[in-house]
Structure 1
Amino acid sequence: MKRKLLTPDSKERKTTDRSLLFTIARQAMIERGLEPDFPMETRKELAAMSGPAQHANDIQDLRHLPWSSIDNDDSRDLDQLTVAESLPNGQVRILVAISDVDALVRKGSAIDDHARHNTTSVYTPAALFPMLPEALSTDLTSLKENEDRLAVVVDMSFTEDASLATWTIYRANVKNYGKLAYRSVAAWLAGEEAAPSKVLETPGLDENLRLQDSVAQRLMERRHRSGALSLDTIQAKAIFDRDSLSDLQLDRKNRAKQLIEDFMIAANGVTAIYLASKNFPSLRRVLRSPERWNRIVELASGFGDTLPDEPDAAALESFLLRRREADSEKFPDLSLAIVKLIGRGEYALDLPGGQPPGHFGLAVKDYTHSTAPNRRFPDLIMQRLLKAAMAGLPSPYSIPELEELARHCSEREDDATKVERRVQKSAAALLLSDRIGWKFDAIVTGAAAKGTWVRLFWPPIEGRLEKGFQGLKVGDHVHVQLVHTDVQRGFIDFVRDLPAKK
């Protein structure tokens, strides 16, 4: 679909939906202090690279294992591979291979400086703004299918009850035998579809993935028994027909996403423990006990439920499970309210002998971010710390430098999240821009002095209710009419569609 866009000189030109959203995203990044473009120095460094990092002879060769990646359908910046192995006494060995990005992106280089400035890739409906140049993140440092690559391997074994029995970390050569996608793997594991062709074509991959899935299910159950929170917020993915925005589809959690999530949580935990065992500092990913716990208690009370006076993750998890069972339709909105009250995660420096606050939402004490060095700068920092510790070298970062990086990475992550949400709202406004006057079924998601908000049942878009909101409360079903959209600002306005008086 072609849209009209006003340029600064006020001359009209035609642009596609994708290019319009790209322009909005790029401007939003600049306003937040993020750099959407790579400086000339980074391009010069990239041009001097002749290929992926060379395979060292003094590290393990694990290319014979049936490694595979599971990610989004369109992901090419592949950070990790996984594989499983059955052991005696019901134990299972899980290996997570993480791309050795540091082997090519050296600390203090121009590419590293740009990554350090943005600290994260920014994912918007129109385009990905990668932390590293795509020639690296989707090629030279990506764990691409059928390519030999260097990796840092987190090697863990779990007992039948999903307890961590042993662990170690080392460098290795690996090879991805199957680039798989969340949706198709999840449908296969659930028995809804046939196995993806790559699973059928690769000897042993079918059995290996089923073994991984069984361990992941037990890891998830164990975490939730400890108080990990079952939250399910609404996420929508923009669907394009070439360059025209055609729909927003729900992007829900599934079994394959859960598999990768639980293995990454385990690998991140072992990484934190390993560095502590070597008396190394680390950047922990923390989510502190909610300061607004009293508001969460009040929220539960409104449902006729009771929570303890002090923050208790296990009690909150039990409440969430009861609410999901009682009203699955409204559960995403309750989840979002809980997420907002808990607060956002952040990076914090952990010194040797320290007592990190842990992650309230995941119910784990030792946790970091280390499994996505192509996409997040804290993960690249952790990789450098790991490699130094393994080699018996001093930390490549000073304590003051790590303190500043923890603060900077937390702030930049918040900036990136706001950009992504901003462009997502613009995409929603764009999709509805030619539907002024249309009527929709919706649910009230927010009702306070600052405004009343509703979410359409389809497409899954939220907007402000400008008229007819009196007496409404969260969870009420309403019929609304679209009256206004502002694509540039991401605004969507409705009025309540009341039945005509007789």
Structure 2
Amino acid sequence: MKKHRQHLHDIDLRSIAWHAMEKYGFESRFPTQVMDEVNAMQERIYSDIPEGFRDLRALLWSSIDNHDSQDLDQLEYCERNPEGTIRVRVAIADVDSYVQKQSPTDEYAAHNGTSVYTGILTFPMLPDRLSHGITSLLQDKDRLAVIIEFVVQRDGSFSPGEVYRALVRNKGKLVYETVGEWLEGTGPLPKSIKDVPGLEEQLRLQNDAAQLLRKYRREQGALEFDTLEAEVVMENGEIQGLVTRTPNPARALIEEFMVAANGTMVARLGAAGVPMIQRVVKSPRNWAGIILAAANLGETLPEKPDAKALAKFLMKEKTVDPLHFPDLSLAVIKLMGPGEYTMLEPGATPTGHFALAVVDYTHATAPNRRYVDIINQRQVKAILMGKPGPYSSKELSDRAMWLTDREKASKKVKRFMRKSVAAMLLEDSIGKTFDALVTGAADKGTYVRLLVPPAEGRVVKGEQGLHVGQNVRVRLLKTDPYNGFIDFECISREKMV
């Protein structure tokens, strides 16, 4: 074990991460011009309320994010109306107030398009002084924000409300895991909530609103997945292994609020009659493959894509076989194909987001981490100030295409790094056999994901005739951490219909 640990130490995962960024076309270092510009920025102190802003610092705002997150993009606050509806406010960090369009910092962010989280290193879209500092909605700091309001109706639908600018103050920086465990009754009330008077009641109300929203979207055909996405575990700077992130009520709360907030942003831009970037998932790329996956579980899906039928099937399988539901989720996601950004002209018919069961959707709630969110922020701020939109339809169309490419590339970097870490952890297991799930089967190669540990690799022997979603038994043949290669031989498979 000592020799193995020493060998792991010899593998330079940081260097591999830098290489992966460059391989997929990212600029991995901030140019001097960008750092000089950001270092010259001054954090603003607000003794008076800026013109055109509301003072909402007294509200019981809080954030929920990962335990190590400092790039806080949004805060939440709810209040129950007399008629039983729930008014939700989501505060979004006003990144545009510091990052001016076409500035060196803006051009760098536009090129990368997103922050890239590799598990080993984080490559932020904006320098830490911005995203972790003066544009982050940090606890006990006064910050400018764009407020998105919506009302959750008693049936779980939501009505888009106002979008405006305000001064806010985060009262509690909360963590997904501890808040989620408390909400589902498996953990104690977190100290970060207990120490703030009224925050416990506020979080319970937020959870009530989120559950209503989720129930309604389920009824409309929203797809729910448990993918058990692998994350790298680091301790004292050393790799300890790969773990899977499981859903919890706190993550579901934020997801529901962001879906509604993004829908509200689309409604506001649409009402102003300006072109916009929408986030879409068209009809599944391989519906026939999804039909086959369902048939192998004894279920029949319609010949044409049907979100409600698929959602009903997924919910049933989650109840009947929760152990294998993450594998089914992963297979269906692969068969559906990725989301993308597209420009929508005023008055045009939107494509919609098949997986979320919503027609109007965009990304506008994470401007410290995604560039499309900065674009939407600039669009809505121009509307609020009565100014022309800062982007033409042609520019938005070009940006949408580029940012779709950058998002796909960022996923490739993360997948590459997971494979590198997995290859490193598995190098002493050559010749051993594992249960696995086929996650990809195409001309470019056949891929499987191990159930334990959650590692993905390529089947280079015995791959003929395998299908996405099929359970197989594989033997590990070779690992190469520096190239992210894990090679398997398929030695047995379940029969397909």
- Does TM, scored on the shorter chain, surpass 0.5? yes
Return the match for 1:186 from 180, 185, 193.
180
SS in 1 for 2:359: coil
1:46 alignment partner in structure 2: 38
Q: Sequence identity of aligned pairs in percent?
A: 46
Measure, in 1, the Cα distance between the counterparts of 2:268 and 2:323.
42
SS in 2 for 1:88: coil
Distance verdict in 2 for CA 1:157–1:449, change over 3 Å: closer
Measure, in 1, the Cα distance between the counterparts of 2:285 and 2:219.
23
Cα offset for 1:231?
A: 1.6
Q: Residue 370 in 1 paired to residue 364 in 2?
A: yes
Measure, in 2, the Cα distance between the counterparts of 1:449 and 1:227.
29
Deviation track 1:195-223 (CA, whole Å, cap 9, x = no partner) reads 11110000110000000001101101100
Measure, in 2, the Cα distance between the counterparts of 1:326 and 1:346.
32
Cα offset for 1:350?
A: 1.2
Letter in 1 for 2:88: I
Measure, in 2, the Cα distance between the counterparts of 1:14 and 1:114.
37
Return the match for 1:461 from 455, 460, 468.
455
Q: Residue 442 in 1 paired to residue 429 in 2?
A: no
1:265 alignment partner in structure 2: 259
1:25 alignment partner in structure 2: 17
Return the match for 1:37 from 14, 20, 29.
29
2:167 alignment partner in structure 1: 173
CA RMSD of aligned residues (A): 2.5
Measure, in 1, the Cα distance between the counterparts of 2:164 and 2:22.
39
1:322 alignment partner in structure 2: 316
SS in 1 for 2:12: helix
Between 364-373 and 236-245, the greater mean CA deviation after superposition: 236-245
2:495 alignment partner in structure 1: none
Measure, in 1, the Cα distance between the counterparts of 2:337 and 2:208.
32
CA contact (8 A) 2:441 2:466 kept: no
Cα offset for 1:440?
A: 5.4
Letter in 2 for 1:403: S
Task: Give runs of aligned pairs for residues 117-128 of structure 1, distance below 5 A.
Answer: 117-128=111-122
Return the match for 1:82 from 54, 76, 85.
76
Distance verdict in 2 for CA 1:213–1:2, change over 3 Å: same
Cα offset for 1:236?
A: 1.0
Distance verdict in 2 for CA 1:188–1:249, change over 3 Å: same
Measure, in 1, the Cα distance between the counterparts of 2:3 and 2:246.
30
1:417 alignment partner in structure 2: 411
Gaps of 5+ in 1: 5-12
Q: Residue 302 in 1 paired to residue 296 in 2?
A: yes
1:70 alignment partner in structure 2: 64
Measure, in 2, the Cα distance between the counterparts of 1:41 and 1:165.
44
Q: Residue 196 in 1 paired to residue 183 in 2?
A: no
Deviation track 1:359-415 (CA, whole Å, cap 9, x = no partner) reads 011010111100000000000000000100111110011121111111111111111
Task: Give runs of aligned pairs for residues 389-408 of structure 1, distance below 5 A.
Answer: 389-408=383-402
CA contact (8 A) 2:39 2:129 kept: no
Cα offset for 1:458?
A: 2.6
Deviation track 1:47-94 (CA, whole Å, cap 9, x = no partner) reads 211114755143111111111100111111000000111110111111
1:10 alignment partner in structure 2: none
Letter in 2 for 1:240: M
Letter in 2 for 1:355: T
Q: Residue 484 in 1 paired to residue 478 in 2?
A: yes
2:222 alignment partner in structure 1: 228
Q: Residue 351 in 1 paired to residue 342 in 2?
A: no
Deviation track 1:263-284 (CA, whole Å, cap 9, x = no partner) reads 0000000000001001111110
Deviation track 1:174-210 (CA, whole Å, cap 9, x = no partner) reads 0111111100000000111111111000011000000
Cα offset for 1:164?
A: 2.0
Between 449-458 and 354-363, the greater mean CA deviation after superposition: 449-458
Gaps of 5+ in 2: 493-497
Between 461-470 and 358-367, the greater mean CA deviation after superposition: 461-470
Q: Residue 137 in 1 paired to residue 131 in 2?
A: yes
Measure, in 1, the Cα distance between the counterparts of 2:249 and 2:153.
21
Letter in 1 for 2:68: D
Measure, in 2, the Cα distance between the counterparts of 1:411 and 1:53.
38
Measure, in 2, the Cα distance between the counterparts of 1:469 and 1:281.
47
Letter in 1 for 2:427: S
Between 446-455 and 321-330, the greater mean CA deviation after superposition: 446-455
Cα offset for 1:472?
A: 8.2
Measure, in 1, the Cα distance between the counterparts of 2:442 and 2:126.
43
